[in-house]
Structure 1
Amino acid sequence: MPVRSEGVGSHGCSHGRHPDERRGRRLPVTRLTIAQPDVTLTLDMNGVIRGVSLAESIGGESVQQWLGRHWAETVCSVGTGRVRSMVEDARAAGVSAFQQFTQRFPSGLEMPMEYTTIRLGEDAGLVAVGKNLQAVAELQSRLLAAQQAREQDYWKLREIETRSRLIFDASSEAVLLVRADTLRVIEANPAAIRSLGIVPGWEVLREVAGRDQDGFQAMLARTRRHGRVPGMIIRLGADQAPWTVKATLMASDPAPVFLLQLSPTGAAPVPAPADALQLEAMIEQLPDAFILMDRDGVIRRANRAFLDLVEVGSASRVVGERLDRWLSRPGATLANLLAQLERHGKVRLFATHLTGELGAEADVELTAVLGSGPAAESVAVVLRDVSRRLPENAAGDPLRRGLAEITGQIGRTPLPTLVRDTAAVIERHCIEAALQLANGRRTAAAELLGLSRQSLYMKLNRYGMDADADPVQEGTG
């Protein structure tokens, strides 16, 4: 690359040569062109400019006015301190670190540059070489503009998604989102949950009557090919009621999904009795949380108090989820509750701990009962927040009392000892809870805890709990 030099002193010429050139061997022109920086400044030991060399890309600039001036006077105010620091570093260590600042030319042009400064010999002066960062600055500006445009597109998509979600939840028509490869429900709007009882995770094909399954699958196959096809009538649910279903194929990651729109066919549905509607409204207004779940603990119905307790805004976010998603007390889990229900048919004042979606914690008591007749697969649960009254009884709670005693040892007892003592307190509490759930039968308690009978006996002996279990009941376990 041709260069133009102005006022380069003798020191700059003699010390600036390449070693191969001083030995009499000329370097190829291409190599010189590649090595040439955009700006080369020859400085004395104090940083005063003695010579300037410019690359062809900025060769039209006149820099005679720089000669005899300090380098710091030719840069922007932000770069003044950096220039002086580079000069001092080069004098002390022989070379300075790279610094970026704006170089001001006599014509008024301001150009972002990256410089480094090198010392030439003992008193031969300094050389500052700079690279034009204008192209880099333009790329950074374009990148910033692209990021801002991307953020704007993201918030537009979020707004569209919010509107779609509101329409999805408020629609009076039953709507399902179903994975195209597995035919498993991804999402169901409240109308679908109320009308069909279908919740996320269910397989749609199992809800379709056997005589309609082949036709339903053929319709979905045509939807795969054409994107959308006319609807058909299928029979759904246990009562085999006829429904008109329309399918639309939608792109999604990792697999496409079907949007199924369902509406009842034939005679208008019989309105629910006034008493049933009144009961539904009263359940929704209950001050205590109420849920209806199946025997696997999957929630099918939840009132507003439960949504407030678990800190969610819509019933669609809890329907289809297991209750143990929010329960967190050892020894008082959903599995223990369901085991008690299977044995006794109902459970009263089942104490456990609940953690909401936003982190709020509450101590709750559960009362649950198994359904009968047509509702034999359902479980009704009432959850009462008892956090307010627990401080009055905290002194009588052995778990709280034990943990409080351990907390009081902080600063006086090593951490490993505190951890071991805490584990022992919790382990004893879990054993006591299991024995209580098993009515003192050690075999059943060992099964609840996932232990062998021998392991449970050893732990009972360790904690001095041998007399806690009823030997008469143990014989029947």
Structure 2
Amino acid sequence: MTRVNIAQPDVTLTLDMDGVIRGASLSDAIPGEQVQAWLGRPWSETVGAVGVDRVRSMVKDARAAGVSAFHQLTQRFPSGLELPMEYTTVRLGGQAGLVAVGKNLQAVAELQSRLLAAQQAREQDYWKLREIETRSRLLFDASSEAVLMVRADTLRVMEANPAAIRALGIAPGWEVMKEIAPRDQDAFQAMLLRVRRMGRVPGIILRMGPDQAQWTVKATLMAADPAPVFLLQFALAGLAANPPPADAVQLEELIEQLPDAFVVLDRDGVIRRANRAFLDLTQAGALSRVIGERLDRWLSRPGATLSVLLSQLQQYGSVRLFGTALTGDLGTEAEVEISAVLGAGAAAENVAVIIRDVSRRLAPRVENDPLQLSLSEVTAQVGRTPLPALVRDTSTIIERHCIETALQLANGRRTAAAELLGLSRQSLYMKLSRYGMDGEIESSQGESG
């Protein structure tokens, strides 16, 4: 025979079929309470206002089905004590009445109250932590000292403040070791090993960047998840003895205030420096989102890409009014003109680029536009000329116009025009010969020369 252990109820009520209390008993868990005053009263009068309908529902369900569902309510005792209870009601055999048994939920309520208080305290601690993080972020971004946060296991930059991006040209995701001069890399590694053992050590002087400038570097090891990080602080060596000249500082401010976008690229087209106008044009929002990216990330016109621009720079040294389209990070497209020049001397590895948004210029009057006039002549032939002939004539007009436009953008240089059109040089020569444009191009090249 199986033995079933049933927990003793804290309150047991004997009811008639109308829900009037005929008997009541309490467990030892509720000592000192006298419940004789309940006898002869409806059960619904001894509970809180919310529990009245629940009591009536339990009595009704027990009469109809023999047992009711569990319901929670507040039981009011004659002494004025109120306890949260959970009741169920069972019908006895025949017309013997009903029995309601209840369990005291005060311990559960106290536990819930403690849990709620703990959650509130945790939320307060969370917002305090967020406030501290916000203050730290503001100090990190506002610092005039170049600061990098570097993963200790990979030496890859996790965060770089604006001063580090401007001064070092390093953005998140870059590897610090690749920016340090090879002869100083062993000393840098040795310093990091000492920092791992002692937490913090005196700084060292090393050379960084394309100009191999000397920097004083200090490192601090910080705990982080999933791996510890190094906090690297950079200061130009001998800065106090050799402050930057006033005209250099003024030039930096003027570049930042330029209305046109200004960027400095390396020979691979990677952005090393950018002003505020470039951030606005690309909708990047922060300097760290453009430093280290290739310029062709935003150039969107086929045939007028960064590779074409760099090819012309390698061949001619400078490019003026290179027309293309630029698409920002938010999807806005703008017509732009690019002028660029290769650096010389100490800046030989860099490319200076100015990007001007020309999409807001007033559109030129098209009353005497040759393309429009030619297309209107073709349109006038509808109904007189078969459709295949009209399509062939239209294709010829548009092809000639595109070739003329590409030659104008390339200042008459056929090789550059072929790259803009996506054609081989021989294909372009054949089309020039077909349209009788050889003489015009030779004369334009003579005038430009």
Q: Structure 1 CA distance, aligned partners of 2:96 and 2:302?
A: 83
Shift, 1:259, TM fit: 0.6
- 8 Å Cα contact 2:47-2:75 kept in structure 1: yes
CA RMSD of aligned residues (A): 3.9
Q: 1:438 to 1:313 in 2, by over 3 A?
A: closer
> Residue 354 of structure 1 is aligned with which of 328, 334, 350?
328
Say yes or no: does 1:332 pair with 2:303.
no
Deviations 1:393-423 (A, max 9, x none): xxxxxxxxxxxxxxxxxxxxxxxxxxxxxxx
Corresponding residue to 1:271 among 230, 244, 255:
244
SS in 2 for 1:115: strand
Residue 372 of structure 1: aligned partner: 342
Moved more, 230-239 or 71-80: 230-239
Judged with a 3 Å threshold, the aligned counterparts in structure 2 of structure 1 residues 215 and 376 are, in CA distance, closer, same or farther, namely closer
Match of 2:119 in 1: 147
Query: TM-score, length-normalised on structure 2?
Result: 0.70
Residue 363 (structure 1) aligned with residue 333 (structure 2):
yes
CA distance in 2, matches of 1:216, 1:147: 46
- The residue identity in structure 2 corresponding to 1:271 is P
Residues 295 and 379 in structure 1, CA contact (< 8 A), matched pair in contact too: no
Map 1:34-183 → 2, pairs under 5 A: 34-183=6-155
Question: Is the CA contact 2:264–2:351 (under 8 Å) kept in the aligned structure 1?
Answer: yes
Q: CA deviation at 1:353?
A: 4.2
- Measured in 1, the distance between the counterparts of 2:255 and 2:79 equals 81
Structure 2: runs of 5 or more not aligned: 314-318, 364-401, 407-416, 433-449
Q: Which shifted more, 212-221 or 84-93?
A: 84-93
**What is the TM-score when the length of structure 1 is the normalising length?**
0.66
Are residues 1:382 and 2:355 paired? Answer: yes
Where structure 1 has 5 or more consecutive residues not aligned to the other structure, the ranges are 1-19, 21-26, 391-431, 445-468
Per the alignment, do residues 63 and 270 of structure 1 end up closer, same or farther by CA in structure 2, a change over 3 Å counting?
same
Question: Comparing 280-289 with 154-163, which one deviates more in the overlay?
Answer: 280-289
Alignment of 1:282 with 2:254, yes or no, is yes
C-alpha change, 1:307 and 1:442, in structure 2 (3 Å) is: closer
Structure 1 residue identity aligned to 2:80? G
For these two proteins, the number of residue pairs brought into alignment is 371
**Identity %, equivalent residues:** 64
Alpha-carbon spacing, 1:314–1:238, altered in 2? closer, same or farther (3 Å): closer
Match of 2:197 among 210, 222, 225: 225
The aligned amino acid for 1:350 is T
Structure label with greater radius of gyration: 2
Per-residue Cα deviation, 1:100-159 (whole angstroms, up to 9, x for no partner) = 221111111111122222333453322222222211111211111111111111111111
Corresponding residue number in structure 2 for 1:393: none
Distance change >3 Å, CA 102–CA 233, structure 1 → 2: same
SS of 1:56's equivalent in the other structure is coil
Establish whether residue 201 from structure 1 lines up as the match of residue 169 from structure 2.
Answer: no
Q: Which whole-Å deviations, capped at 9, do the CAs of 1:356-375 have from their partners, x for residues lacking one?
A: 4xxxx633234445551336
Aligned partners of 2:8 and 2:176: how far apart in 1?
A: 71
CA displacement at 1:35 relative to structure 2: 2.3
The counterpart of 2:225, out of the listed 253, 268, 279, is 253
* Secondary structure, aligned partner of 2:23: strand
What amino acid is the match of 1:364? A
- Indicate conservation of the 8 Å contact 1:199/1:300, yes or no: no
Shift of 1:221: 0.9
Change (3 A) 1:65 1:186: same
Shift of the alpha carbon at 1:471? 10
